Amino acid sequence: MDLRVKRAPHIDTEITVPGDKSISHRAAIIAALSNGVCHIDGFLNADDCRRTLEALRSLGIRIDEPEPNTIVVHGKKRMLSPPAREIDCGNSATTMRLMAGLLAGQTFESRLVGDASLSKRPMDRVIAPLRRMGANIMAEGAEETAPLLIRGGSLRGIKYEIPVASAQVKSAILLAGLFAKGKTTVTEIAATRNHTELMLRYFFVRTTRGENGTVGIFGEQVPESRDFSIPGDLSSAAYWLTAAAAQPGGHLLVRNLGLNSTRTPVLGVLVRMGAQVREAVENVDQLEPRGVAEVTGAMLKGTVIQGKEVAQLIDELPVLAVAGALAHGTTIIRHAQELRVKETDRIAAIAHNLRAMGAQVIELNDGLEIHGPAPLRGSRVASFGDHRIAMAFAIAGLFAEGETIVQDAECIEISYPGFAKAIEEFISPKHAQASTRVIGSLSLSPMAE
């Protein structure tokens, strides 16, 4: 499927975005381990998250879907059943890595497989700690890649320092720690998303938080069943927030948005680049803060993104690179070598597509140097089968002269069903649904700094 994009007129609107992808995976898994029935609203009904649902069903968990974005998970007190066949994770590295942690503590054998892209992604980072805990895991692919054959067993708690900042690896170890004897602690070299820790705490699992980024969990606990509502995904909202930020005078408000502090650094980058950004937390009842984010656009200026903040911006870097091409001056992204091992080599993909649209880009080993502002021209650009590359360059198309065609854009369904319809509403606002209202005056928190 090709996605065709044209220059957007003045942006002045209000939207919501689908449920948070990271939280959806974790809520389903922890609910499945709980001691009862859990109603989860706002679940992201996208391919990646559905892979996690089907994986749990194959392990004997009943999951009802009374409405498109609501699931009812019948927890089985950590008692899972052997799968009748291999578990297909599709393109979802989150599914594969988190399920590896879950399956490491089972008494049966299981096999995790994925598509061609997932089968190239590194799994040694999760295999190594799980082996140390006592699991028998064999990577059937070259260089410790999928498929993964897991023979679970009796696990023991460990102390582990993660060599590469990864919320997925941290989460896999914590999930395995639920089945281990003693305490499992994980230390991060840079802070990553903390959704798993918050979710475990919400389900009354005893965890600890120490200095220097250390998270601990005590083994052999059963989560208490609870209902949960998932907020909108800030990584999905980042595409529209960036578009509004890069359009002088553009104005966008996103409601019911997850505002977890490990996810909001993208707003800080937009502020550094010159946009006006406000956020207001409206609800913290379920540990995941949610509220509204508002952006007023400006002529952006280049910035430097590097160091520890990169770990919390990894999903937003493709669209921030597009913002860099539209900004005055130079934008430098460093210490982002993790982009090389995503669904595609995102550093190479970003550089390739920006050049195709007329931007000046230098590709670095661990990032990019982007010289702006570039008068972007409409072009035919590749998605490389990567949903975040496809969406980032659809946003670039909103600022390009002529038509931009994003090829093989069906991969967007992995994380953002409805993206194509949403971008059409930005291109042709007269066709927007009545529920998408023009922003009025709002009383929000002071501008982010």
| Whether pLDDT at 368 is above 60 | yes
What pLDDT was estimated at residue 210?
A: 86
Going by the DSSP 8-state scheme, the letter that residue 68 receives in this structure is T
DSSP E strands in 316-427: the ranges are 329-333, 360-364, 367-372, 380-382, 404-407
* Mean pLDDT confidence for 94-101: 97
Q: What percent of the chain has pLDDT over 90?
A: 88
Band the pLDDT of 8: cuts 50, 70, 90: very high
| CA gap 305, 309 in Å, rounded | 7
- In the set 20, 48, 88, 315, the catalytic residue is 315
Closest CA to 90 of 49, 56, 59, 124: 49
| Whether pLDDT at 442 is above 60 | no
What pLDDT was estimated at residue 228?
A: 93
Going by the DSSP 8-state scheme, the letter that residue 120 receives in this structure is G
Q: What percent of the chain has pLDDT over 70?
A: 95
What pLDDT was estimated at residue 443?
A: 35
The tokens for 242 are: 């960036």
Residue 55 Cα to chain centre, angstroms: 19
| Whether pLDDT at 435 is above 50 | no
Is-catalytic flag, 315? Answer: yes
Mean pLDDT is lowest, of 134-138, 166-170, 294-298, 430-434, for: 430-434
Closest CA to 21 of 49, 59, 41: 49
* Mean pLDDT confidence for 233-240: 97
Longest Cα–Cα distance in the chain: 61
* Mean pLDDT confidence for 338-348: 93
The pTM of the full predicted model, rounded to 2 decimals, is 0.92
What pLDDT was estimated at residue 239?
A: 98
* Mean pLDDT confidence for 142-146: 90
Q: 233, 21 in Cβ contact below 8 A?
A: yes
* Mean pLDDT confidence for 247-270: 96
The tokens for 50 are: 């559905």
Residue 13 Cα to chain centre, angstroms: 24
| Whether pLDDT at 436 is above 80 | no
For 37: left if phi > 0, alpha if psi spans -120 to 50, otherwise beta; the answer is: beta
Cis peptide before 83 (omega within 30 of 0): no
* Mean pLDDT confidence for 150-171: 92
Which pairs count as long-range contacts for 282-287, CB under 8 Å and 24+ apart, including other chains?
286/202, 286/228, 286/229, 287/198, 287/199, 287/201, 287/202
| Whether pLDDT at 445 is above 60 | no
